[in-house]
Amino acid sequence: VIYYGESCEILAGQTEPWESLALIMEHLGIRSPPPPAP
């Protein structure tokens, strides 16, 4: 998986992968489906 630009910094501060993914998608302006329930 490749992350772009500021997304890497966002990832560095997150502990939940799905949270990071949601932030990256939002950062890139992409609407992502909700993460699967734990």
| pLDDT tens by residue, 1-38 | 555 555 555 555 555 666 777 777 777 776 656 667 66
Contacts (Cβ under 8 Å, ≥6 apart) of 23:
7, 10, 14
| Segments forming the whole domain that contains residue 6 | 1-38
Contacts (Cβ under 8 Å, ≥6 apart) of 16:
none
Structural contact between residues 1 and 10, judged by C-beta atoms closer than 8 angstroms:
no
pLDDT at position 13, please?
A: 57
Number of independent structural domains in the chain: 1
pLDDT at position 8, please?
A: 53
pLDDT at position 11, please?
A: 54
pLDDT at position 25, please?
A: 75
- Look up the pTM and report it: 0.32
